[in-house]
Amino acid sequence: MELTLPTKKIINTYKRYSLPVEKEPTDIKKLQFFYIGTQTRYTEKLQEYFEFGYTTTSAANAIYTLKRLMKKADEVTIPSMVIADGTLGTEHLVELHKFIYSHKIMADVPFIVEATGLAPEELNRFKRYEFIDELLFLNEFTAPALVRKLSFLQRMKQKRVQQPETCKVETSFRPYANVKAVVKRGLDLLIAAVFLAVLGPLMLLIALAVKLDTGGPVLYTTLRTGRGYRIFNLYKFNTIIQDAAKKKSGITISRVGMFLRKTSLDELPQLLNVCLGDLSLVGHRALPLYEAERLTTNINAHHFLAPAGLTGWQVQKNDQMVMPVEAPLAPATDKSDLLYDIWLMANKPAAAIQKTNA
């Protein structure tokens, strides 16, 4: 049968299929994985990570194997997740998903595409297909990280299938969630503008000193993750000597840089991030990408529902200031409150110069 691909975006609507009672399996034993592809290194990796699973090289073979598994008289064995190689091609992936989706007992099995080797245009096209639950690169995952990712996808897929009315996936974030958020943004702009006006001359002097002492750029940028998982450049004054590795002393931090770090003055350019809307004056810590990618649990995902902050809700531990790595994450809904933010800025002004985004 010739398969015609849809020209419009595939909408991932889940429906329940009624099967005759005498034919519908009731005793279901789930495998750990089902990999469809030709990459031996992925087969070996999955076999090392998980206790059990199936592998095959084509979508046709996978469909044949799944049919055979579902016809077992004593019990039905289906995979906990399907991981298909993206190089199989869109047509075969659609065919495989169509078969899985048409069987009630497999409707909540995550359909994952291994995207290694895909051209950029192919990867962008796959991102538009909502029947694909996740695109990932197996070579980037350790065993624990992959298990956490798959566990998260399983819970989400089961909820979307079994309770579609209560599982609404948010694909975009409104600029301001409510009136409080608008007021908070207004305060952020007002206070940041005042600080920039007052500290502007000092920042110009620091910029000149940095340029003369390091011989490199004045500002240093690092990628961070903010509200809605949006990635932005976090600004700091540069404290690293240009071409430090080539110098005999081996010292990388400049004299001015050491002073800036000790006094936290290297963080002043983050006021620009506040003006640009990347940060709020008070909020959760803006996480580096390597930390953000690990936060896939339902509780930790709340961290990204509120804007990241120049200073944080997590600056106190036993009445002492702590570095971010020591401060636990808390759901954004715990303290995402305008009155609390004003109280923190008024009563803990020292928090404003802590390295909460170090």
Q: Which residue has the tokens 């989400």?
A: 156
Q: Domains in the chain: how many in total?
A: 2
Q: Which of 127, 162, 197 is the last residue of a domain?
A: 162
- Joined tokens for residue 354: 């802590």
Pair 227, 342 in one domain = yes
Pair 116, 200 in one domain = no
Pair 153, 266 in one domain = no
Pair 69, 122 in one domain = yes
Residue 120 lies in a domain: yes
Q: Which of 112, 128, 162 is the last residue of a domain?
A: 162
Task: Quote the pLDDT of residue 340.
Answer: 64
Residue 17 lies in a domain: no
Residue 329 lies in a domain: yes
Q: Which of 98, 130, 162 is the last residue of a domain?
A: 162
- Domain containing residue 98: CATH number: 3.40.50.2300
Residue 300 lies in a domain: yes
DSSP of 70-134: HT-SS-EEEES-EEEEGGG-HHHHHHHHHHHHTSGGGTTS-EEEE-TT--HHHHHHHHT-TT--E
Residue 18 lies in a domain: no
Pair 128, 101 in one domain = yes
Task: Quote the pLDDT of residue 203.
Answer: 94
- Joined tokens for residue 274: 């506040």
Pair 140, 198 in one domain = no
Q: How far apart are CA 138 and CA 149, in angstroms?
A: 11
Spans of the chain below 70 pLDDT: 1-29, 73-76, 163-174, 177, 243-251, 296-302, 312-358
Residue 127 lies in a domain: yes
Contact 109, 103 (CB under 8 A): no
Contact 308, 224 (CB under 8 A): yes
Pair 202, 128 in one domain = no
Pair 135, 263 in one domain = no
Task: Quote the pLDDT of residue 19.
Answer: 37
Tell me the whole-structure pTM to 2 decimals.
0.50
Task: Quote the pLDDT of residue 331.
Answer: 43
Q: How far apart are CA 189 and CA 199, in angstroms?
A: 15
Task: Quote the pLDDT of residue 47.
Answer: 82
Distance of CA 324 to the CA centre of its chain: 19
Residue 47 lies in a domain: yes
SS3 of residue 324 by DSSP: helix
Pair 57, 98 in one domain = yes
Q: How far apart are CA 310 and CA 351, in angstroms?
A: 9
Task: Quote the pLDDT of residue 351.
Answer: 46
Pair 104, 187 in one domain = no
Pair 193, 334 in one domain = yes
- Joined tokens for residue 93: 């992936």
Contact 97, 34 (CB under 8 A): no
SS3 of residue 298 by DSSP: helix
Residue 248 lies in a domain: yes
Pair 109, 234 in one domain = no
Interval 24-69: pLDDT, tens: 455 566 778 889 998 888 888 888 888 788 888 899 999 988 888 8
SS3 of residue 145 by DSSP: helix
Q: Which domain holds residue 185?
A: 181-353
Task: State which H helix or E strand residue 66 sits in.
Answer: helix 59-70
Task: Quote the pLDDT of residue 259.
Answer: 92
